[in-house]
Amino acid sequence: MNNNIIKFDKARFTVLTDYLIRIEYSETGEFEDRMTQIVQNREFSEVNFDIIEKEETIEIITSTVHLYYNGGEFTNASLFADVKFNFSVYSNRWYFGEKSDGNLKGTTRTLDMIDGECPLEDGIMSKSGFAVLADKGKVLTEVGDIAGNSVSTIDLYLFAYGRDYRQALKDFYQLTGNTPQLPRFALGNWWSRYYDYSDKSYLALMDKFTDKKVPLSVSVIDMDWHKVSEVPSRFGSGWTGYSWNRNLFPNPENFIDELHQRKLKVTLNDHPADGKFVLLKTFIHRLLKRLI
């Protein structure tokens, strides 16, 4: 794979496929080879490509991409690439830092407060023929623990697949890891209601479903499983939290065991996008112990 890696000035380029190039910049000259929260694998098949290297510039040419780098910090003048697809007269050139028209968009983190149209971030597919994935994820250890920030200042992946969206998605999965297959139980009936159940009232409801011969696979415990209204404002809004509400669930372990005995999978509703963790006594002590 080292044959596919080109270092030039403070930049490093990795030709992963004819259509996919990794682009890094580092002021220190150190570059990241470990897994990140986004990228799990950079081992692809060998690629044939050409290099035109001069004193201050370098060009990397695959069957699909002609990349130009003029040295120094990445700007739209120092780093750009021509993509060999003629989907329009003027838009087959990618410039660093500039968004292209025609991106087919990606996903969104949360649907909270969405009523109608939902703005989406850019994805890896574009009618223009190219798109960029910025890897800003934390670096991971071999066992998947977070190890810190990447040593690369900029870490990009240029996807230049034209309109071969199927191949773009296939290589994306090879880069990031396959999406896990949904377990069978996830396709069954779920019970979820925003209501302040207690452990007893919730279990009674599950038993009522059984009596009425209504099959359930997953029981969702909505946000009142954790403290909501009793949370001091300095800890956040109460929408997110990890301290059980002992008034409603005095024995959480026993409650979950009871649900498992009823052959139900259990999930707890939380809102991490709210941005703050509720560090009350029942949680903060365990957290500090884990960190120490």
Distance CA 67, CA 25 (A): 15
pLDDT band at 241 (very low <50, low <70, confident <90, very high): confident
Q: What is the pLDDT of residue 151?
A: 83
- Please name each of the domains of the chain with its CATH number: 2-176 (2.60.40.1760), 184-291 (no CATH)
Characterise 97 by phi-psi region: left (phi > 0), alpha (psi -120 to 50), beta (else). left
pLDDT at 286 > cutoff 60: yes
Cα 172 to Cα 38, 103, 231, 274, distances in angstroms:
10, 16, 42, 29
Q: What is the pLDDT of residue 236?
A: 65
Mean of pLDDT over the chain: 89
pLDDT band at 167 (very low <50, low <70, confident <90, very high): very high
First-to-last alpha carbon distance for the chain, in angstroms, is: 39
Distance CA 175, CA 137 (A): 14
Contacts of 85 (CB under 8 A, 6+ apart): 64, 92, 129, 160, 162, 163
pLDDT band at 88 (very low <50, low <70, confident <90, very high): low
pLDDT at 247 > cutoff 90: yes
- Count other Cβ atoms within 10 Å, centred on residue 25: 21
Angle between helices 252-261 and 199-211 (to 10 degrees): 10
Buried b (16+ CB within 10 A) or exposed e, 63-79: ebbbbbbeeeebeeebb
Nearest CA to 61 out of 157, 53, 162 is that of 53
Contacts of 51 (CB under 8 A, 6+ apart): 6, 58, 59, 60, 61
Q: What is the pLDDT of residue 152?
A: 83
Average pLDDT for 30-34: 92
170 three-class SS: helix
Average pLDDT for 53-79: 95
Segments in the chain forming alpha helices (H): 165-176, 199-211, 252-261, 281-291
Burial of 133 (0-12, 13-18, 19+ CB in 10 A): buried
Percent with pLDDT over 70 in the chain:
88
| Main-chain phi, psi angles of 192, to 5 degrees | -145, 125
Distance CA 199, CA 75 (A): 58
pLDDT tens digits for range 191-205: 999 999 999 999 999
Give the CA count within 13 Å in the CB-facing half-sphere of 77. 2
pLDDT tens digits for range 100-124: 788 999 988 888 788 999 999 999 9
Q: What is the pLDDT of residue 280?
A: 54
pLDDT tens digits for range 179-230: 889 999 999 999 999 999 999 999 999 999 999 999 999 999 998 998 777 7
Residue owning tokens 């290099």: 51
pLDDT at 287 > cutoff 80: no
pLDDT at 275 > cutoff 60: no
pLDDT at 278 > cutoff 80: no
* 103 vs 280, higher pLDDT: 103
**Dihedral (Cα; 245, 246, 250, 253), 10-degree rounding:** 50
pLDDT at 277 > cutoff 60: no
Distance CA 274, CA 278 (A): 11
Q: Output the pTM of the full model.
A: 0.77
